[in-house]
């Protein structure tokens, strides 16, 4: 036991006396830090562009509905409200990753937005040229209740489909 302790003491004394501790520590830190940084950036960029987990609709600065996974939260716990024969203010759609962070896929990479309306006699989605690819208005055509789903397309296939959101036209 005494020899082992003495041996460790001699080894530490040798390392400290020959100024090898600092270079060894720095080398070890670089080996750990450099791959971790490269890996984190790559995975974040990929997740944001390819794996929506939910979405949020924002009108006048308020989240009118939010989907995270299969959970849906409506503003004031009531369906989206649209007035009959009127177009809503502009609605901004943002996709959410699994961490709840909002992102917008790059349209130049082939991402587009589409929607499905349960009863098109009651509701329409309107996109003006100036609205941009992730913004739109809802137009109430006739009083009643319907549902509206949003689809994120990537080139020729659906990449994500929202749950059907309830929309009441008054």
Model confidence, pTM: 0.70
- Report the alpha-carbon distance of residue 83 to residue 65 in Å, rounded: 17
How many other C-beta atoms can be found within 10 angstroms of the C-beta atom of residue 54? 21
pLDDT, the chain, mean: 80
Exposure string of 105-121, with b = 16+ CB inside 10 Å and e = fewer, is beeeeebebebebeeee
Convert the pLDDT of each residue in 34-55 to its tens digit: 443 333 333 334 343 457 999 9
When comparing pLDDT for 32 and 165, which is higher? 165
The alpha-helical segments, DSSP class H, found in the chain are: 2-17, 21-50
**97, 47 contact by CB (below 8 A):** yes
Domain locations in the chain as residue ranges: 2-48, 51-169
Give percent of the chain with pLDDT exceeding 90: 66
- DSSP code of residue 83: -
Instruction: For residue 131, give both structure tokens.
Output: 């609205």
Q: What is the pLDDT of residues 87-114, one digit of tens each?
A: 999 999 999 999 999 999 999 999 999 9
pLDDT of residue 156: 86
Please give the pLDDT value at position 22: 46
Q: CA–CA separation, 38 vs 46, rounded Å?
A: 13
**What spatial distance separates the first Cα and last Cα of the chain, rounded to whole Å?**
87
Rounded CA separation 120/141 (Å): 8
User: Helix, strand or coil for residue 33?
Assistant: helix
Q: Look at domain 51-169 and name its CATH class.
A: mainly beta
User: What is the predicted pLDDT for the residue at 68?
Assistant: 93
**Cβ atoms of residues 125 and 82 within 8 Å:** no
pLDDT digits (tens, 9 = 90+) for 119-131: 999 999 999 999 9
Helices (H) and strands (E) in the chain, counts: 2, 12
């Amino acid at each position: 036991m005494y020899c082992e302790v003495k041996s460790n003491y001699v080894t530490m004394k040798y390392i400290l006396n020959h100024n090898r501790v600092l270079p060894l520590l720095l080398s070890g830190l670089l080996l750990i830090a450099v791959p971790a940084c490269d890996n984190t950036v790559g995975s974040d960029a990929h997740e944001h562009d390819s794996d929506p987990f939910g979405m949020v609709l924002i009108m006048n600065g308020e989240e009118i509905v939010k989907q995270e996974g299969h959970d849906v939260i409506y503003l004031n716990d009531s369906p989206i409200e649209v007035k009959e024969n009127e177009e809503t203010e502009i609605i901004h759609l943002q996709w959410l990753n699994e961490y709840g962070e909002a992102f917008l896929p790059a349209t130049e990479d082939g991402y587009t937005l589409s929607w499905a309306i349960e009863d098109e006699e009651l509701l329409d989605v309107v996109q003006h040229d100036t609205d941009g690819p992730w913004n739109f208005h809802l137009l109430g055509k006739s009083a009643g209740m319907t549902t509206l789903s949003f689809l994120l397309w990537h080139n020729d296939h659906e990449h994500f489909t929202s749950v059907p959101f309830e929309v009441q036209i008054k």
